[in-house]
Amino acid sequence: MKILQLDTNHPLITEQLSAKGFMLDEDTTSTYDEVLEKIADYEGIIIRSRIPVDQNFLEHAKNLKFIARVGAGMENIDVRFAEERGIKLISSPEGNRDSVAEHVVGMLLILMHRLFISSTEVKNGIWKREENRGDELLGKTFGIIGYGNMGKAVARRLSGFGVKVIFHDILPNLSDEFATQVSLETLKNEADILSLHIPITDETYQLIDAQFISGMKKDFYFINTARGKNVKTSDLVEAIRSAKVKGACLDVLEYEKASFENLEIENNDSAFLLQSEKVIVTPHIAGWTVQSKEKLAQVIVDKILTGFAQD
């Protein structure tokens, strides 16, 4: 079976799959159109976010048996058309869930305890104590939307912080020892902190907008390590200005490029987020650690071997 890697990944993918008889090529520079010219030669592709696997791509990939996405989100793939053609879809959310969970807790603690702000001030000769009085997690209710791999990992990390963890998910009966499933209405009534762990779909596009935010009973902290387009940025900015949102931790932005490599749009709202002391912004790295790079790759290899073992 011939496999084409379209992004740079951990070398264990090539090493382990080659040892099992797969033939792997790597192309991390060709354009979309250049890839189309040769994709019919391959039965499998391994991708991240560089090349969109849309209907046109799949129509050219006449021999494709599987698409492996090194990561969790599948929005750069025309999932419906791929499934219609009998192409197996593989992702690896198990590989970076721990990284995401630590990033969520880390960002939140930095924000609530003003760690970055106060450290920067001290390094610049400014010594403020009362102005940098923090806010504790202990005793708060942490609300999660989406209780898959990422949401569950976050709940596990919070188990020692003395918080009540609740979540809402479209699937039923997901409660465990770390969190309790509730209705969306209950979550809005009780949460002091809201964290998103959902894919981007027609239903979740700009889910967090002015109407959703106004429906939150309490002023709250907001965390997004899911997808930037889950949030209507202009409405979030207004909520931060009014203090309905007490602070935001954003690893993803609505204005990112589809490849997640940089900002595509810069405007007044993005400028506000980047300048506000109430906002922490990171460059889509919640799932990026030394360990997750290897784990993501290993999950992909294991799933390919399970579904397409060579004789």
Residues in the chain: 311
**Which residue out of 136, 227, 238, 277 is catalytically annotated?**
227
SS3 202: coil
**Which residue out of 50, 69, 168, 284 is catalytically annotated?**
284
Distance CA 305, CA 299 (A): 10
Which residues, other chains included, contact 80 with Cβ-Cβ below 8 Å and sequence gap of 6+?
none
85 is catalytic: no
- Sheet strand arrangement including 164-168: 180-181, 164-168, 141-145, 193-196, 220-224, 245-250, 279-281
227 is catalytic: yes
Distance CA 233, CA 192 (A): 20
Distance CA 153, CA 171 (A): 17
- Among 52, 41, 43, smallest CA distance to 6 is for 52
SS3 83: helix
Secondary element (H or E) of residue 106: helix 97-112
**Which residue out of 10, 157, 197, 256 is catalytically annotated?**
256
Distance CA 112, CA 92 (A): 31
69 is catalytic: no
> Could you tell me if 101 and 150 are in contact, meaning their C-beta atoms sit under 8 angstroms apart?
yes
SS3 212: helix
Q: What is the DSSP secondary structure assignment for residue 284, as one 8-state letter?
A: S
What residues act catalytically?
Answer: 227, 256, 284
